[in-house]
């Protein structure tokens, strides 16, 4: 297995874990009606919330800029889906699809044309 394929598998597993893990807890949440207020209910959850918000901001900028740089279509959708679904899902998904684009480019540039 080539290193790029191993990275793709790892990113895929992380994306799946991010989606399942976050949505399990989202669906079992029975706290106050304001979900976002629970983010800042105590010092521990506030720390995790700030950590996620800063990582989301930096990751969103990276996904948009890097996605455009490597020629991915509509990279702005990753942050949008990160808000709707989970950043823990969309960021590894972005990395997986980015890895595929880079692998495809590397394969295309190393392919030797057959001359007749």
Residue 113 lies in a domain: no
Indicate whether 111 belongs to any domain: no
Q: How many domains does the chain have?
A: 1
The domain in which residue 55 lies consists of: 3-31+38-104
Query: Helix, strand, or coil here: 104?
Result: helix
Q: How many other CB atoms are there within 10 angstroms of residue 27's CB atom?
A: 7
Domain-embedded: residue 98: yes
For residues 11 and 95, the answer to whether their CB atoms sit within 8 Å is yes
Structure tokens belonging to residue 39: 């983010």
pLDDT along the chain (116 residues), means of 10: 93 98 92 86 96 98 98 97 97 98 90 62
pTM of model > 0.85: yes
Assigned domain for 61 exists: yes
* Average pLDDT over all residues of the chain: 93
Domain membership flag for residue 114:
no
Q: Is residue 52 part of a domain?
A: yes
pLDDT given for residue 91 in this prediction: 98
């Amino acid at each position: 297995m080539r290193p790029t394929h191993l990275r793709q598998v790892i990113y895929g597993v992380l994306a799946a874990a991010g989606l399942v893990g976050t949505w399990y807890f989202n669906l079992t949440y029975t706290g106050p009606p304001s979900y976002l207020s629970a983010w800042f209910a105590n010092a521990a959850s506030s720390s995790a919330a700030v950590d996620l918000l800063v990582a989301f901001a930096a990751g969103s900028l990276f996904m948009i800029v890097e996605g455009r740089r490597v020629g991915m279509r509509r990279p702005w959708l990753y942050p949008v889906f990160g808000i709707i679904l989970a950043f823990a899902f969309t960021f590894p998904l972005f990395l997986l699809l980015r890895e595929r684009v880079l692998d495809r480019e590397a394969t295309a540039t190393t392919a030797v044309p057959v001359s007749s």
